[in-house]
């Protein structure tokens, strides 16, 4: 015995029609088969969409990481080779200044395009001060950039100003 899928009454296993609700059980098998096919299609398309969404998500994360890395100068070939102020060189400090943004007293923002001919002005155990020729994105290339490298705790800090 089995239950009718339409009215839940007990019917014989071999029944073609339900004696209680008069439903065709052959149609029920077709309906069940159709539902199974529909479920398979939906499940497979959902799984495909999810795997595609996961791949897209991973690519987006990788692109964001690359943009952040590039924004910090990670792709410009500059790697700090000093571990203390005594190891630092003005040529390394000038490389780090490229791309820095400066503000003037009126709130204008300028970007450092290039620094060259940098030279050491002073050095203590916690601070290196260098001065170099600077080219800014506002067309000014007759100025000097004062570059200060300071060690506080275990972290290096840069400060730039135009003179």
pLDDT digits (tens, 9 = 90+) for 126-142: 899 999 999 888 877 77
Judge whether residue 78 has pLDDT over 60: no
Overall average pLDDT of the 143-153 stretch: 88
Judge whether residue 117 has pLDDT over 60: yes
Return the domain boundaries, the chain: 2-51, 85-162
Question: Three-state SS across the chain?
Answer: CEECCCCCCEECCCCCECCCCCCEHHHHHHHHHHHHHHHHHHHHHHHHHHHHHHHHHHHHHHHHHHHHHHHCCCCCCCCCCCCCHHHCCHHHHHHHHCCCEEECCCCCEEEEEEEEEEEEEEECCCEEEEEEEEEECCCCCCEEEEEEEEEECCEEEEEEEEC
pTM higher than the cut 0.75: no
Q: Report the pLDDT value the prediction gives residue 122, as an integer from 0 to 100.
A: 94
Q: Report the pLDDT value the prediction gives residue 4, as an integer from 0 to 100.
A: 85
């Amino acid at each position: 015995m089995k239950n009718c899928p339409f009215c839940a009454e007990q019917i014989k296993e071999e029944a073609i029609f339900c004696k209680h609700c008069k439903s065709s059980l052959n149609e029920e098998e077709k309906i069940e088969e159709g539902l199974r096919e529909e479920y398979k299609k939906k499940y497979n398309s959902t799984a495909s969409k999810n795997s595609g969404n996961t791949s897209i998500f991973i690519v987006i994360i990788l692109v964001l990481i690359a943009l952040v890395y590039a924004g910090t100068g990670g792709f410009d070939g500059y790697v700090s080779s000093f571990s203390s102020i005594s190891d630092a060189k003005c040529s390394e400090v000038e490389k780090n200044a490229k791309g820095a943004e400066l503000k003037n007293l009126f709130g204008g923002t300028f970007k450092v395009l290039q620094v060259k001919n940098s030279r050491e002005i002073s050095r203590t155990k916690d601070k290196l001060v260098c001065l170099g020729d600077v080219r800014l994105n506002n067309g000014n290339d007759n100025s000097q950039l004062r570059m200060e490298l300071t060690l506080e705790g275990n972290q290096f800090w840069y400060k730039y100003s135009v003179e």
